[in-house]
Chains A and B, each alone.
Chain A
Amino acid sequence: MRSIRAAATGAVILSLALAASACGGGSSTGGGSNDSPKELTYWASNQGASIEIDKKVLQPELDKFEKETGIKVKLEVVPWSDLLNRILTATTSGQGPDVLNIGNTWSASLQATGALLPWDAKNFDKIGGKDRFVDSALGSTGVEGQDPAAVPLYSMAYALYYNKQMFADAGIDGPPATWDELIAAGKKLSKDGKWGIGAEGSNPSENIHHAFVFAKQHGADFFTADGKADFTGDGAVTAVKQYVDLMAKDKIIAPGNAEYAQNQSVSDFAKGRTGMLLWQSASANLKSQGMSEDAYGIAPVPVQSGTPGPGRQVNSMVAGINLAVFKNTDNLDGATEFVKFMTSDAEQKVLNTAYGSIPPVKAAQEDAAFNSPANAVLKDTLAKSAVALPQVSNESQFETAVGTAIKELFADAAGGREVTTDSVKAALTKAQQQMPKK
Chain B
Amino acid sequence: MRKSSPGAARGPRRRPGRIRRIGLPYLLLLPALLLELLVHLVPMVIGIVMSFKELTQFYIRDWGTAPWAGFDNYSVSVDFDAPVGKALLDSFLVTIAFTLLSVGLCWLIGTAAAVFMQDTFRGRGLLRALFLVPYALPVYAAVITWVFMFQHDNGLVNHVLHDQLGITDKPSFWLIGDNSFIALLTVSVWKGWPFAFLIVMAGLQNIPRELYEAASLDGAGMLQQVRRITLPSLRPVNQVLVLVLFLWTFNDFNTPYVMFGKTAPEAADLISVHIYQASFVTWDFGTGSAMSVLLLLFLLAVTGVYLALTSRGRRTAS
- Which residues of A are at the interface with B, using a C-beta cutoff of 8 A? 1, 4-5, 7-8, 11-12, 14-16, 18-19, 22, 29, 81, 85, 88, 91-92, 94, 109, 112-115, 201-202, 204, 254-256, 258-259, 261, 393, 396-397, 400-401, 403-404, 407-408, 410-412, 414-415, 430, 433-436, 438
Q: Which of B35, B87, B177 contacts A415 (CB 8 A)?
A: B177
Min CB gap B54→A, angstroms: 8
Assembly CA distance A422 to B28 (angstroms): 67
A12 and B30: CB pair below 8 A?
Answer: yes
A14 and B31: CB pair below 8 A?
Answer: yes
Min CB gap A381→B, angstroms: 29
Given contacts A407-B263, A411-B177, A436-B56, 15 further A-B contacts (CB under 8 A): A1-B20, A4-B24, A7-B24, A11-B27, A11-B28, A11-B30, A16-B1, A18-B31, A92-B63, A393-B57, A397-B281, A404-B263, A411-B265, A415-B177, A436-B282
Q: Which of B56, B282, B285 contacts A434 (CB 8 A)?
A: B282
Q: Which of B31, B177, B178, B282 contacts A11 (CB 8 A)?
A: B31
For A403, list chain B residues within 8 Å (CB). Answer: 263
For A255, list chain B residues within 8 Å (CB). Answer: 152, 173
A29 and B62: CB pair below 8 A?
Answer: yes
Q: How large is the interface on B (under 10, 10 to 19, 20 to 34, 35 or more residues)?
A: 35 or more
Known contacts A22-B38, A396-B283: does B266 contact A408 (CB below 8 Å)? yes
Interface residues of B in 25-75 (CB under 8 A from A): 27-28, 30-31, 33-35, 38, 42, 56-58, 60-63
* Closest 6 pairs (CB-CB, A-B): A433-B83, A411-B176, A256-B153, A15-B30, A29-B62, A256-B152
Min CB gap A274→B, angstroms: 12
Assembly CA distance A201 to B152 (angstroms): 13
B28 and A8: CB pair below 8 A?
Answer: yes
* Main SS at interface, chain A: helix
Q: Is B175 an interface residue (CB 8 A)?
A: yes
Known contacts A22-B38, A411-B176: does B60 contact A7 (CB below 8 Å)? no
B282 and A400: CB pair below 8 A?
Answer: yes
Q: Which of B27, B61, B177, B282 contacts A8 (CB 8 A)?
A: B27
B261 and A81: CB pair below 8 A?
Answer: yes
Known contacts A8-B27, A12-B1, A15-B30: does B58 contact A113 (CB below 8 Å)? yes
- Which residues of B are at the interface with A, using a C-beta cutoff of 8 A? 1-2, 20, 23-24, 27-28, 30-31, 33-35, 38, 42, 56-58, 60-63, 82-84, 87, 151-153, 171, 173, 175-178, 261-263, 265-266, 280-285
Known contacts A8-B24, A29-B61: does B173 contact A411 (CB below 8 Å)? yes
Assembly CA distance A261 to B263 (angstroms): 11
B280 and A88: CB pair below 8 A?
Answer: yes
Determine the residue in chain B with the shortest Cβ distance to A397.
Answer: B282
A85 and B280: CB pair below 8 A?
Answer: yes
For B42, list chain A residues within 8 Å (CB). Answer: 22
Assembly CA distance A408 to B28 (angstroms): 56
A19 and B265: CB pair below 8 A?
Answer: no
Known contacts A397-B283, A414-B176: does B58 contact A15 (CB below 8 Å)? no
Min CB gap A229→B, angstroms: 12
Determine the residue in chain B with the shortest Cβ distance to A22.
Answer: B38
For A407, list chain B residues within 8 Å (CB). Answer: 176, 263
Assembly CA distance A8 to B63 (angstroms): 40
For A29, list chain B residues within 8 Å (CB). Answer: 61-62
A91 and B61: CB pair below 8 A?
Answer: yes
A436 and B284: CB pair below 8 A?
Answer: yes
B61 and A92: CB pair below 8 A?
Answer: yes
A113 and B61: CB pair below 8 A?
Answer: yes
Known contacts A7-B28, A16-B1: does B176 contact A202 (CB below 8 Å)? yes
For A414, list chain B residues within 8 Å (CB). Answer: 152, 173, 176-177
For A114, list chain B residues within 8 Å (CB). Answer: 58, 61-62
Determine the residue in chain B with the shortest Cβ distance to A85.
Answer: B280
Known contacts A7-B28, A408-B266: does B282 contact A415 (CB below 8 Å)? no
For B173, list chain A residues within 8 Å (CB). Answer: 255, 258-259, 411, 414-415
For A408, list chain B residues within 8 Å (CB). Answer: 176, 265-266
Min CB gap B21→A, angstroms: 9
For B280, list chain A residues within 8 Å (CB). Answer: 85, 88
For B177, list chain A residues within 8 Å (CB). Answer: 411-412, 414-415
Assembly CA distance A22 to B40 (angstroms): 13
B56 and A261: CB pair below 8 A?
Answer: no
For B262, list chain A residues within 8 Å (CB). Answer: 81, 400
B61 and A19: CB pair below 8 A?
Answer: no
Min CB gap B182→A, angstroms: 14
Could you list some 16 contacts between A and B, CB below 8 A?
Answer: A8-B24, A22-B34, A113-B60, A256-B153, A258-B152, A258-B173, A259-B151, A259-B173, A396-B283, A397-B282, A400-B262, A403-B263, A407-B176, A408-B176, A433-B82, A434-B87
Min CB gap A13→B, angstroms: 10
Q: Which of A15, A404, A410 contacts B34 (CB 8 A)?
A: A15
B176 and A88: CB pair below 8 A?
Answer: no
Assembly CA distance A91 to B282 (angstroms): 15
